[in-house]
Structure 1
Amino acid sequence: MQTELRLLIDMTEAANDERMIKSAVLSFANAHGFERFAYLQTQGDDVQTFNSYPEEWQDIYLGSRYSIIDPVITEAKRRMNVFSWTVDDWPARGRSELRRFKDQAVAHGIRSGVTVPVEGSFGSKMMLTFASKERKADVSKLQDAQDAIQAVLVIHYRLKILAAVTIVSPKTMLSPREAMCLMWAMKGKNGPETAKITGIKPRTVQHYLDNARRKLGAQSVPHLVAIARDHGLV
């Protein structure tokens, strides 16, 4: 049976738009006690981000260039392992800008979290953060370093691919789990086999495949697979 991180990896790999990636990552975050997530890629002072934070906080963060002083990014740049953090450990005194950042983060429901840093190309750094409004975050579900790092890489490269091409029209968008079950069907797995691999109940797997068939106008699972291959949906 897959670990929960492996399930996230598969759903991200099967995603055919940014909405599906956001849904998959946010579902994983919510299931483990986190309200928000943020993927960031930094190169020098430049920051690219894909996240579920409120737009107001994104505007404040990017407009104030908080990435330069953000203690989480500073810590992620100097280490290569999963780590937890809390704003209570950030300096309470010192630079007024850092104090203001801390107060604004707490005001927007960001008090603790877990971050997975990964070394990128050309001196860049990628990181995936799950944030919580609680005082202390639970890092236990992200202890498998290899799967955690792979999750960051899959999100990174899937976003790059989707930025280059629009795969499917809005009318035929599949949910992350529908796309994942379709992916296993394309690999020749039947419903019970997919259920065993993913840890989803067989009836639920069939439900996701039925939904995908209706969305794509397929008469059967083989027909669904043929349509998906012809249109490059997954």
Structure 2
Amino acid sequence: MDEDFRSLIDMAEAAHDERMIKCAVKSFAQACGFERFAYLETEGAEVRTFNSYPKAWQGVYLTSHYARLDPVVTEAKRRMDMFAWTADDWPDCGSSDLRRFRDQAVEHGIYSGVTIPVEGSYGSTMMLTLASSERKADISKLQGGRKAMQAVMAIHYRLKIIGATTLVAPRRMLSPREAMCLMWAIKGRSAPDTAMLTGINARTVQHYLDSARRKFDAKTVPQLVAIAKDRGLI
């Protein structure tokens, strides 16, 4: 199994677009005996994902905001360790949202699987799920939590690099300190709050925000936040 993890990490590193990463993860999932995969990042209420699930299920999942109640996502955030799961463990009676989620997941061929969660920065969580339509997935080929976490981190950082390759002039790239201060601003933190959280002087925090603002011709920090998100810089 180490060879499969190593191959996934190498293929992610060599990928120059999201399609190539998706192909690499799909090959890895199939090598492990799974039919589907889902890579998901959560940060607060925001969810970013790419997967090989049926298109109909992708639409239902996102429009119904199922990431908020998905038992797999909830468990991943709680334990931060590789774990197996099955829909048999979810409520199968009543009329709750969780029951509806379970029925729709099974209907779209997602019955069991294994999930590899990793804690990211600023309260984010990344997770790779391999899913099967079988009542109980065979996870015997998946061993070694450390290698699994390395693979998830390799996917995460490669996606960030690919996202940052949007054509932006070098003078407009944010410095690490500017990006950090902007990230806290996105989370609603004032300059004094960011100063306490980072140990940087409040006036210096404001300096970094002003510098970032000038680079993108933004008149306000909220406008800067919108620009940075739109260009995939944050």
Q: TM-score normalised to the size of structure 2? A: 0.68
Q: Cα deviations across residues 93-137 of structure 1 (Å, max 9, x unaligned)?
A: 355211111111011110000000100101111100000001111
Q: Which residue of 2 aligns with 1:119?
A: 119
Show CA shifts across 1:4-43 (max 9, x none): 1111111111111111111111011112221111111111
* Distance in structure 1 (CA, Å) of the matches to 2:141 and 2:120: 23
Rounded to whole Å, the distance in 2 between the matches of 1:30 and 1:3 is: 14
Deviations 1:66-85 (A, max 9, x none): 11110000100100211000
* TM superposition score normalised by structure 1: 0.68
SS of residue in 2 equivalent to 1:73:
helix
Aligned partner of 2:69 in structure 1 is 69
8 Å CA contact retained: 2:2, 2:147: no
Q: Which runs of 4+ in 1 moved over 6 A?
A: none
* Counterpart Cα distance in 2 of 1:154 and 1:22: 13
Partner residue, 2:11: 11
Matches within 5 A, 1:135-154: 135-154=135-154
* More moved, 81-90 vs 45-54: 45-54
Q: How much does 1:138 deviate?
A: 2.2
Distance of aligned partners of 1:33 and 1:127 in 2 relative to their CA distance in 1, 3 Å threshold: same
Paired with 1:147 and 1:3, the residues of 2 have a C-alpha distance of: 10
Number of matched pairs: 167
**What residue in structure 2 maps to residue 101 of structure 1?**
101
Q: Is the 8 A contact 1:114 1:138 kept in 2?
A: no
Q: Is 1:110–1:133's contact at 8 Å kept on the other side of the alignment?
A: yes
* Contact kept? 1:117, 1:125, Cα under 8 Å: yes
Between the aligned residues of both structures, percent identity stands at 68
- Larger RCO: 1 or 2 (CA < 8 Å, sep 6+): 1
How many angstroms apart in 2 are the aligned matches of 1:161 and 1:80? 24
* Other structure's SS at 2:146 match: helix
- Partner in structure 1 of residue 163 of structure 2: 163
Partner of 2:88: 88
Q: Distance in 2 between matches of 1:93 and 1:107?
A: 15
Structure 1 contact 113–136 (Cα < 8 Å) conserved? yes
Q: Residue 23 of structure 1 corresponds to which residue in structure 2?
A: 23
Secondary structure of the residue that 1:49 maps to in structure 2?
Answer: strand
Q: Give unmatched runs, 5+ long, in structure 2.
A: 168-234
For 2:166 and 2:20, the matched residues in 1 are separated by 13
- Residue 32 in structure 1 maps to residue 46 in structure 2: no
